[in-house]
Amino acid sequence: MEGLELRRLERGDFDKGFLQLMQQLTVVGDVSREMFDAKMQQLEKLGDYHRIVVIEDVKSGRVVATGSIFIEHKFARSCGKVGHLEDVVVDERMRGCHLGQRYLYFALSIFAQQSQRRVIEALTSFAKDAGCYKVILDCKPENAAFYEKCGYSKKEIQMAKYF
């Protein structure tokens, strides 16, 4: 995938559209540069227990995909570890939304799928190398087929309580 660089999230990504990309996934709200830097500092303290990767389109200097993983310490499985995959998103422009031309739509869609898969595989490999015995994630039912292609299987149900 020429021109697309996968790497860890950096402070400079504040100016490269990282938060705008996250907004396509969830509610981000107001995040100033100071808040961003403070969160980066907190994440740096966690070292390899929390890793966020991005794919940068080198030509445009924009972040076009991201995903994160954090590692949980367990007593299960001989004091093993579990990777939690979170916040995987690919820029909607790569996903081909709002484009009238069908051919262009599909070309971009495959490109987006490749980027998404690259993020998922990079984070899954990271967790495996860190000694995790499994990686888990929560997703919408319509995205399950995609994760199955990446080697994931359906397990339980997710529940949430909002404050």
Write the DSSP assignment of 40-107 as a string of letters: HHHHHHTGGGEEEEEEEETTTTEEEEEEEEEEEE-SHHHH-EEEEEEEEEE-HHHHTTT---HHHHHH
Residue whose CB is less far from its own copies, 4 or 139: 139
Residue whose CB is less far from its own copies, 108 or 119: 119
Residue whose CB is less far from its own copies, 35 or 104: 35
Q: Does 46 interact with its own copies (rule: CB under 8 A)?
A: yes
User: Apex CA 87: angle with CA 68 and CA 143, to 5°?
Assistant: 120
Residue whose CB is less far from its own copies, 27 or 59: 27
Pair of tokens at residue 73: 């310490």
Q: Looking up tokens 């070292």, which residue turns up?
A: 47
Residue whose CB is less far from its own copies, 100 or 157: 157
Which residues have a Cβ under 8 Å from the Cβ of 117 and sit 6 or more positions away? 149, 150
Tell me the C-alpha distance between 82 and 65, whole Å: 23
One residue of 61, 72, 101, 104 binding its own copies per CB under 8 A: 72
Task: Please report how close the Cβ of residue 19 comes to its own copies at its closest, in angstroms.
Answer: 6
Task: Please report how close the Cβ of residue 46 comes to its own copies at its closest, in angstroms.
Answer: 8
Distance of CA 47 to the CA centre of its chain: 17
Q: Does 124 interact with its own copies (rule: CB under 8 A)?
A: yes
Summarize as ranges the residues that interact with its own copies (CB under 8 A).
18-19, 22, 25-31, 35-36, 38-39, 42-43, 46, 49-50, 70, 72-79, 84, 86-87, 124, 128, 132-141, 144, 147-148, 150-163
